[in-house]
């Protein structure tokens, strides 16, 4: 892996875009001001700056994307069905300029984070470590605000209960910070990039804040990530994580089946609404309702099922959301793309160098955790949130680890 010491201009553009996404969903006033369809214009501005600073005509003609790779094949099918659903089948329902802007943002994030930034992170170990450090710095900062919200009344106005909400409006959103931050912290200990006393202090802080987000999906995501990282390193910790994961999962399922709380009833009604819409016709099943039209229709239909929550226009499940917007024809290859990405790297992990293998295991841990968490949420496939571009970086790292490693094998 190459080693340098600085981010260049296009890399800073990508970093600032990610920082903008983090700020965009925060409680701060400007975040509230720019929220909404108009924010797509800011995304497109970043897109244009990114293209201007990275475009190299000579490299463009040299770009090679092999369809012999099963990962690429599933991604191509996802992209083609995504465009067919949005621009041909559902164009009659989604004719506004904001539809095309949002579709462009999906493409922008894949190009910028999955292909471009992830490749930089794969080739330059120093920059990858700096990027992971930046994430940890942010987790520490948000933990400070989470402690303030837990014990000193920060960001607790008009809330039903006090939680480690930090700088966001929903503790479930805050929980994602620790679902990503905790496995990164463990990775730093594994590769000896952090002193043990500092690790212990930060781990206690992060776990404390994660617990008081009260997000059981976040608990399961964190434990799933730790399962991956401890599987080959500590049988005791691995078994403990398995036991805790099973207990939390079973209690969550039991609560859903019993319908004891209003939040559980609400989630069930959202799921039923989504399933009803998806299975309404062959067309809706295969191709969905359109990227924006699906959300508008869902917001109306959920009332028919007795859910009258304000500002809830999706089923809080990333699988159902993709099917609603783009249909199962897009959903199936996308899921196969993610599964193949993880499985191929898991099978190849022993042939990687220790340096690459540790980062591959971290990437698998984070992605697997986010997938589990987003069975109960949806923001891993919502480009307005920073979780989608972050997940694309780790998925992209897996792609380059696998595909570039295969090239090395062929040349030796």
- pLDDT computed for residue 68 by the predictor: 65
- pLDDT computed for residue 32 by the predictor: 58
For residues 166 and 307, state if they share a domain.
no
3-state secondary structure the chain: CECCCCCCHHHHHHHHHHHHHHHHCECCHHHHHHCCCCHHHHHHHHHHHHHHHHCCHHHHHHCCCCCCCHHHHHHHHHHHHHHHHHHHHCCCCCCCHHHHHHHHHHHHHHHHHHHHHHHHHHHEHHHHHHHHHHHHHHHHHHHHHHHHHHHCCCCCCCCCCCCCCCCECCHHHHHHHHHHHHHHHHHHHHCCCCCHHHHHHHHHHHHHHHHCCCCHHHHHHHHHHHHHHHCCCCHHHHHHHHHHHHHHHHHHHHHHHHCCCHHHHHHHHHHHHHHHHHCCCHHHHHHCCCCCHHHHHHHHHHHHCCCCCCCCCCCCCHHHHHHHHHCHHHHHHHHHHHHHHHHHHHHHHHHCCHHHHHHHHHHHHHHHHHHHHCCCCCHHHCCCCCHHHHHHHHHHHHHHHHHHHHHHHHHC
For residues 168 and 215, state if they share a domain.
yes
Last residue of a domain, one of 251, 286, 307: 251
For residues 195 and 213, state if they share a domain.
yes
Last residue of a domain, one of 190, 219, 251: 251
**Euclidean distance between CA atoms 37 and 73, whole angstroms:** 32
For residues 290 and 371, state if they share a domain.
yes
For residues 282 and 337, state if they share a domain.
yes
- Count: domains in the chain: 2
- pLDDT computed for residue 158 by the predictor: 77
Helices 387-411 and 97-109: angle between axes, nearest 10 degrees = 40
pTM for this model (two decimals) = 0.93
- pLDDT computed for residue 290 by the predictor: 95
Q: For residue 102, give its domain range.
A: 1-123+259-412
Last residue of a domain, one of 218, 251, 284: 251
- pLDDT computed for residue 60 by the predictor: 47
- pLDDT computed for residue 59 by the predictor: 54
For residues 243 and 143, state if they share a domain.
yes
Provide the residue-wise pLDDT of the chain in tens; the chain has 412 residues. Answer: 555 556 788 899 999 999 999 988 888 866 555 666 678 889 999 999 999 988 765 554 455 566 668 999 999 999 999 999 999 999 988 888 889 999 999 999 999 999 999 999 999 999 999 999 999 999 999 999 999 999 999 998 878 789 999 999 899 999 999 999 999 999 999 999 999 999 999 999 999 999 999 999 999 999 999 999 998 788 888 899 999 999 998 888 887 777 666 677 888 889 999 999 999 999 999 999 999 999 999 999 998 887 777 778 899 999 999 999 999 999 999 999 999 999 999 999 889 999 999 999 999 999 999 999 999 999 999 999 999 999 999 999 999 999 987 655 555 4
For residues 264 and 196, state if they share a domain.
no
For residues 119 and 92, state if they share a domain.
yes
For residues 290 and 412, state if they share a domain.
yes
- pLDDT computed for residue 33 by the predictor: 57
For residues 15 and 142, state if they share a domain.
no
For residues 73 and 203, state if they share a domain.
no
- pLDDT computed for residue 251 by the predictor: 87
For residues 236 and 269, state if they share a domain.
no
């Amino acid at each position: 892996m190459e080693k340098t010491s600085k981010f260049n201009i296009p890399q800073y553009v990508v970093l600032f875009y990610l920082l903008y996404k983090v700020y965009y969903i925060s409680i701060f006033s400007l975040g509230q001001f720019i929220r909404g369809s108009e924010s797509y214009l800011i995304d497109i501005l970043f897109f244009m700056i990114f293209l201007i600073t990275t475009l190299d005509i000579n490299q463009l003609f040299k770009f090679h994307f092999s369809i012999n790779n099963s990962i690429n094949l599933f991604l191509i099918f996802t992209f083609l069905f995504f465009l067919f659903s949005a621009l041909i089948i559902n164009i009659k329902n989604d004719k506004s300029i904001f539809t095309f802007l949002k579709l462009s943002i999906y493409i922008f994030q894949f190009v910028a984070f999955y292909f471009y930034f992830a490749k930089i992170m794969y080739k330059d170990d120093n920059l990858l470590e700096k990027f992971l450090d930046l994430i940890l710095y942010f987790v520490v900062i948000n933990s400070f605000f989470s402690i303030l919200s837990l014990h000193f009344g920060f960001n607790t106005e008009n809330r039903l209960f006090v939680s480690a909400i930090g700088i966001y409006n929903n503790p479930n959103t805050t929980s994602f910070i620790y679902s990503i931050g905790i496995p990164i912290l463990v990775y730093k200990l594994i590769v000896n990039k952090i002193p043990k006393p500092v690790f212990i202090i930060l781990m206690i802080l992060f776990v404390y804040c994660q617990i008081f987000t009260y997000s059981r999906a976040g608990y399961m995501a964190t434990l799933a990530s730790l399962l991956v990282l401890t599987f080959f390193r500590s049988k005791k910790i691995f078994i403990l994580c398995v036991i805790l994961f099973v207990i939390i999962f079973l209690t969550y399922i039991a609560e859903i089946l019993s319908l004891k709380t209003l939040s559980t009833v609400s989630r069930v009604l959202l799921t039923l609404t989504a399933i009803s819409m998806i299975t309404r016709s062959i067309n809706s099943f295969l191709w969905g309702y359109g990227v924006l039209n699906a959300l508008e229709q869902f917001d109306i239909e959920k009332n028919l099922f007795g859910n009258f929550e304000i500002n809830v226009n999706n089923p809080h499940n990333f699988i159902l959301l993709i099917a609603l917007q783009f249909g199962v024809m897009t959903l199936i290859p996308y899921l196969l793309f993610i599964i193949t990405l993880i499985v191929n790297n898991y099978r190849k992990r022993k042939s990687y160098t220790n340096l690459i293998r540790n980062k591959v295991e971290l990437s698998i841990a984070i992605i697997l955790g986010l997938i589990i968490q987003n069975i109960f949420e949806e923001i891993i496939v919502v480009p307005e949130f920073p979780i989608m571009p972050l997940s694309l970086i780790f998925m992209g790292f897996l792609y380059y680890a696998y595909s570039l490693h295969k090239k090395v094998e062929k040349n030796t």
